Every structure is written in structure tokens, then in C-alpha cells.
Chain A
Amino acid sequence: MSPLRESVFRLLLWCFLGTQCVLGMELPTVAVVIDRYLESQGGANALNDLRSLKVVGEITIESQGLEFEVSQQVVAPDKSFTEQDFPGLGLIREVLNGERGWEWHPITGERPLEAHEIEDKTQETDLQRDLRLFELYETIELGEPEVIEGIETTQLVFTDFKGKTEQWFFKANGDLLQKIHTVSSGPDSVFESTDRFYDFQEIGRFRYPSRIKFINPSYVAELKITSCDINLEIDPAVFELPVLILE
């Protein structure tokens, strides 16, 4: 479909199917919210073109006097290298090579990642994940609208096949993602987090938040991305597992 025809199709879709009447309020359908969300990020074609990325950011946990750098390199669909320089500890590294994962930690030493950790890491490397939301979640439903720091938002509630839910909040008219509330769980943790997205900017086809706050009941961590390269050639050597782990 040509870009023009695609735009016309979307316009018609929104006009005729894009709203539903709930208690007198007009709300968009789930499909339209997600469609707008994808569009707000550059559209399906742009997302499909993504093959790799390299991100560098700074984390500040002001209340605890902590500030450090974090970086992540990803090659879709299943390779990643993450590095964080935690104050006083040094570099913590995690690698996923497409099959196996590995962590090197200055305090706890080196170890292979466990299956559930590899699953988490693999999700991070799935750059086209948002194009398959309807496959990845059993249900996606409209939730209660919410006003977040003065911004009216539309809420979608995602429920996966294990019954876990996530709440995503989109700006009511712009569809930019404002907030996500998740409860991650694994064999060793249950962890609640609210991620709040701020200061959207545009570069080329992309719109992106320049700040993200990771909020939990104990503290707030703020991530500022300082650089990002997309579809960069990433040296495959960074994903190589150490010999000791392979043994």
C-alpha cells in the first residue's frame, strides 16, 4: 500500500471505526489507540526497518546521591550487551548472544544467566515487539481514562497469556505513551514499577521521550538518554561469551 493510500485508509478507519460511545463519552477503540501509538513512533514501516541500536544514558537517583552511566547495544532479534557503571562498584556487564546469557559483576563474579533472565533479555532485543502486540497479549482492553500531571490519557490494559497485566497510558489526542505501570515477576523477584515518559521531541520520523522516570514506592530513578544510534553495525565480538561460561 502506498503511503498516500495508507494515510487515507487510516483516516477513514478513524472516522468510521475509531470511536465508541461509553457512557456518553467518545473513546477510541483499542485498535485505533495502538495504531496511533505505532504511528506516533514513526509507523510500522520504520519499526520494521530497525535492526540494531546503541543507547547511552545517565541514571540519576537524586534522593540517594547516585548517578551513573548505562549503555545498551542490541541486535535484533536476540543479541544484547548491557553495561552499567554503578558508583563504587565498577562495570556490571550482561550479554545475550542469541542463545545463552552471561553476567559479569565486580562483586558477585561471573555466571550464566538463568532461563527466565534470558527470556527477559530476549524481550529487550525484540525491536519489532510493538508490531505484534495482539499476538503477545491475550487481551487488550480499554481502561479508565486518567489525568496524569495535567495530561488527559487513554488507558489500555494488556493481559498476557500468564494472566499478568500491564497498564499503558497514552496521551488522549496525541497517542504518545505517557506512562506504563507493570509488575514484573520471576522466580527471584516480584517488582512493581511505573515508568513515566517526558519531554517528547522529534528527529526525522521519530518522536521520543527525552527523559524517563522509573518510579517505585522506595525511590525514583531518572534516565536521560545522551546518545542513540540506530541500525548501526555493532561489533559481533561484544556478544561473545567468555570461554569459562561456555565450558
Chain B
Amino acid sequence: MIKISKNALQNGVFLRQMFRKFKLNVHKLVLGVTLVSLQLVPLEGYLSRGEAFEQSFDIVWTTVQESYWDSSFGGLDWMAIREQYRPKVAKAKNRRELSILLQSMLNELELSHFNIVSSSSQSLDKFPRGGYSGITLKYVDGQAYVVRIAPDSAAAEAGIAVGWRLKSIHRRSVKRLVTPFRRSVLPEKRKQFHIDMYLNEVIQGGVNKRLRSDWYPPQKRALKTYMVPRYDARELSGSVGLVPSQRIEYEECYDENDVLYIRFNFFVPSLMDTIRESIIGARGRARGIIIDLRSNVGGLAIMASGITGLLVDEKTTLGKLFLRNGYISYQGYPQRERYSGPVAILIDSGSVSTSEMLAAGLQEAGRVRVFGQTSLGESLPSLFKRLPSGDLFQFAVGDYLTPEGFRIEKQGVIPDQLIAPSKEDLEAGVDVTLQQAKSWILNGENILDESA
């Protein structure tokens, strides 16, 4: 036996051919890590001008130049864009102005996942964070409604109920809270999405910090409430690379008709065992499964493959990621223990990235029926770079197409059954989308009943 001592390395011949398949696996995982939309906050931090600004600009421009999957830039003259924006760097007085400039340049691409992401220290406000009140808000037509209250949460204890309309948080009105987004350089379509994310972040409050919120209960006078959000480490995901830890929600329940309802807000690895257990547990018990991906911001793309494997009888392709040179497919491989009954997926304009990949892939495969609103249409795999200015630069490196070649970006996933909740529905606390999905499962209108 030849033994090469500690720190010794392998002969080149082996290294050349080894890890051949491993490289592809890594590629699939790395690109799939960041099928997620992070909270964007217009920057308020101030740094001195200087080389950091110019370097930041050059990194952003060059990165796009080198990694954008379509070398023709979809007809956009990327060199001309540089000439247009580069002279403006010297005029940026602070980081906020630089950020706006860079974001404006990226907006020329008219695609998602090209973002300048501020660090948390440059938030829009000084409101406490890190707690969990248990409230989920939905911003519709300039108003924010409570659509969900977690059981046993601080909000439930405070008596806040589904259907209430938010007046203010910490005495700051909803209108004022969302103004920076309204005025931001974000594309119009993304504003509402990020308003939703922002309001839902602020309403969680700080750990053990009293949170005042004012509400309009339906047909009642305005009401002020106080609650003390808590902290629970179990509600936080681990970070994966530069993707920070996220607050995760998971809900699973059976209704009186044995329909299993599963909802989660983020595709994080730590949830996979729980999801698997829920789906496998439905075998022989549930008349159908409803997977609620509304306001789900995406996450690890390979989780869509994992969930698919629990629902299909044969290898199922969810779509292809087209890169600068080549492509990668994501598949679900049928697992020995899998659920064969009817499955409904719920989506809305807050369903993004991996949510869209899962919904679209299974929809095209004919395995699920999709209910709700057209999804946001942001499904590009992206990576991150830290800029000398201190901000994170998120950049897409590929385009996602469904197996039939449908492009999700900009268009979104179109539900089989389009349902737009009205203000009246929201105020009444009626989830019409969920109701219709249940009805589909129970009325036997689906073609999957026999396998249940």
C-alpha cells in the first residue's frame, strides 16, 4: 500500500477524472440555493464617496456582463448601459444614491433577482425586529388585512382576528410605512410584493418588546392593541451560504373531511423532514392534500424536487435552468413511500421562485390542480456578491423554463382556477381559494380520486 501522508494530495490523473458527477451535483445545489426573493429595503446608510463606489459599479456591471445567460442580453446594449451609468457614479453623494443608481441600471434588464440588497443595519425604520407575533398580513388595494393568526401566538392572545384591517404599527400609518416602496425604483410589479414582505416583517415586532398596533375590525371602530412578541429559535431556519436565516412557518392540519392542509413560507432544508412526514402520513388517511404556497418566497430549489418525489409515480421534470453555457434540469424521483391522491396547490401574487417552479412543474405534469392568483413571475436562479460599498448584490445567472418551455419570469404561473379574493372576503375572513380547492377535492371533480 502506498500511503501519502497528511496534507498530501492526489495525483493529477485522479483529480482530473474524479468528482466528475459531483461537480454537477454541486452546481445544481449552488444555483438552487438562491431561488428566493429577499426583502429589499431602500437604503439609508451613508458612506463617503470614493473608490468603493466605482469598484462597486464595476463589479455589478462586469458580473452581469460575464454571467448573464443570454450573451445578446435580450437585445439590450449592455456596453451602452455602462456608458450611460458609469459617469453618474461620481455624482452619487452617499450609499443610498449609489444603490439607487446601481438598481436603476439593473432595472434596465427588466428581470427579477438583479438587486442591490441592503444589510439589515440600513433598515427603513428603527422598529424592533426578531420577534414573532403570529400575524400574516395581505396588502390589497392600499390596505393591509389580517389573513392568518397563528394559534397560541401573541396576536391570538391579544384578540387580533382574521379580517381586521391594519391602521398603524407603532403609530405609523400603513400609508406612511409603505411610502418608501411606492417611491422606490423597484419595478411596479414588485412593489406590492415587497410591501407585503415589509409589513409582515414589522408586524412581528421585537422579542419581548411591547408592540402597539391599531386596527379596524370589520364594522367596528378603530381599536388599539398591545402585544409582546416572543422568540422561538425553532422558528428560524439555518443560513445556507450567504442566504441568511429566515423565520419559518409550518402549518399542518386535517379538516373534518380528512383533507390535509399544509402551508409553509420558505423552502428551507430544515423543513424537509416535516413535509415528508406530513405527506407520507397522508397515505391511506387524507382524501386529498392542499399545499398552500401563497406568500411563499421560495428557497432551496432542490426542495421542489424532494416534494415532487413524494407525489409522483415516475420521474418528473420540473423544468430547466438555462445558463450561459448549458442547462440543468430539476427532477423529482418517485419515492417508495408516496402519496397518490388528489393534490391542490394554492398560489398568489406573493408566490415566488421555488414556489413557482413546484406549482408549474406539477401542473404541467398533470399531477396537481393550481388555485388562486397568478404568481409573481420571479423564478431566476441567482447568486450573491458582497460589494465594496457594503451591500449585497444579487444577480440571476439563468432562466427557468417549464418542461413545455413556458417562461415563468415576468409571466408567473397561471392557476387552473383563477380566484381573486375581494375586500369583502378578506374582511369576512373567508378564504375562497382554500374553499374552492377543498371543494374540488371533495366533489370528486378531479381525475386523481381513484388513486387516493
Q: Which residues from chain A sit less than 8 Å from chain B, CB to CB?
A: 40-42, 47, 53, 55, 59, 61, 63-66, 70, 72, 74, 82, 84, 86-90, 92, 94, 105-111, 117, 120-121, 123-124, 126-127, 129-130, 176-177, 180, 183-185, 188-193, 195, 197, 200-201, 203-204, 206-210, 212, 214, 216-219, 221, 223, 225-233, 244
Contact = CB atoms under 8 A, between A and B. Distances in A.
Given A64-B30, A88-B239, A219-B30, A231 B19 contact: no
B3 interface: yes
Nearest to B303: A107
B439 interface: no
B34 to A, nearest CB: 8
B329 A191 contact: no
11 contacts: A47-B13, A90-B269, A107-B305, A124-B17, A129-B13, A200-B12, A207-B11, A216-B325, A217-B397, A218-B67, A230-B11
DSSP majority for the B interface? mixed
B164 to A, nearest CB: 36
Given A61-B241, A218-B397, A92 B25 contact: yes
B3 to A, nearest CB: 6
Contacts of B23: 191, 193, 214, 221
B220 interface: no
Contact of A124 (B8, B21, B302): B21
A118 B8 CA distance: 29
A72 B18 contact: yes
Contacts of B2: 204, 230-231
A203 B4 contact: yes
Contacts of B183: none
Contacts of B33: 64, 66
Contact of B323 (A117, A207, A218): A218
Nearest to A131: B13
Contacts of A86: 26, 29
Contacts of A203: 4-5, 8-9
A7 B117 CA distance: 61
Nearest to A244: B336
Nearest to B8: A203
A210 B9 contact: yes
B234 interface: no
A89 B10 contact: no
Nearest to A112: B333
Contacts of A233: 1
Nearest to B33: A64
Contacts of B331: 188
Contact of B1 (A193, A195, A216, A232): A232
A42 B11 CA distance: 9
B335 A109 contact: yes
Contacts of B19: 70, 72, 82, 124, 223
Given A88-B269, A226-B7, A180 B325 contact: no
Given A88-B238, A107-B300, A124-B21, A216 B15 contact: no
Contacts of A47: 13
Given A176-B12, A225-B15, 5 more contacts: A61-B26, A64-B30, A191-B326, A201-B8, A228-B8
A206 B18 CA distance: 17
Contact of B20 (A105, A123, A200): A123
B98 interface: no
A55 B18 contact: yes
